Homo-oligomer: A and B are copies of this chain.
Amino acid sequence: MRLEDTALIKALKEDIGHGDITTSLLIAEGHKSTAVLIARENFILAGIPFAEKIFKLIDSEIKFKADKKDRDAVKAGSVIARINGNTRCLLTAERVALNLLQRLSGIATLTHRFVEKVKGLPVKIIDTRKTTPGFRFFEKYAVRVGGGSNHRFGLFDGVLIKDNHIAVAGGIKKAIKLARAGAQHMLKVEVEVGNIRELEQALSAGADIIMLDNMSIKEMRKAVKIVRLKSPGTILEASGNITTENVRATAQTGVDLISIGALTHSATAVDISMEIMPSR
């Protein structure tokens, strides 16, 4: 049992409902085929273990032989996997498997593009919680495949004090103090700041991590200088409107982490198709 199977089963039920009527009408019950998954463009592959699972959930007898594995840079026209088994089952599982692979590979590819831009710099590209409702486990997996790292998974595994919290709690210092006093001891405390003045407050209150929200490159450079001087252990995260154009400049400010919502909320799908091979 893989705990993510529940989501894959749900996705299959969403597409199949009470049955794949076209396939039932046209394909003989015992017919067997080999199908290939083919890349239709260049991309970083992500999702192969889940795609395999999708076919096996429909029919545990299906053989799935992956020619490429997650993290591989796949070229247009290359075969990703060969799948052999009951033809009806292959066709019924096709779209769910492709939807998953196309979306995850799209995320991995976009992540990889950002990661390449900051090559050689001591910085991590990280994701956010801006994911498709119900599909976060898979999307965060794809970010890792693309060479990125994950920010917290949800509201339950990280303390992140944002502007709304600060406004209600009555200031950065008070908020950090409350968080440090009550947080489970294994969790660091991160706080969002919008300018140098807030950064200083966060530093003096003892934040473990400071997110520089929508600051200019110049401001970020200043922030890094202050932090490295006063509190070298504090982690700095740049956030807001990061593009492939400005990501290297951002990294060069010396921040430790760059978080990018677009990795998951605005990646576009890559093109993959499945073809039944002529049987001989």
Contact = CB atoms under 8 A, between A and B. Distances in A.
Interface residues of A, number: 101
B155 A22 contact: yes
B184 A18 contact: no
A27 B169 contact: yes
Contacts of A98: 130
B130 A99 contact: yes
Given A175-B26, A185-B256, A274-B164, A21 B136 contact: no
A17 interface: yes
A44 interface: no
A186 B152 contact: yes
| Majority SS at the chain A contact face | mixed
A186 B164 contact: no
B235 A187 contact: no
Contact of A266 (B140, B186, B268): B268
Interface in A83-102: 87, 91-92, 94-96, 98-100, 102
Interface string A1-14: 10100011111111
A229 interface: no
State the 3 A-B residue pairs at the shortest beta-carbon distance, nearest first: A17-B156, A11-B133, A266-B268
Given A24-B182, A132-B135, A158-B184, 20 more contacts: A1-B60, A10-B134, A11-B133, A19-B155, A20-B155, A22-B162, A26-B175, A31-B168, A87-B168, A91-B164, A95-B130, A96-B133, A99-B131, A100-B133, A102-B130, A159-B186, A185-B188, A185-B257, A187-B187, A266-B268
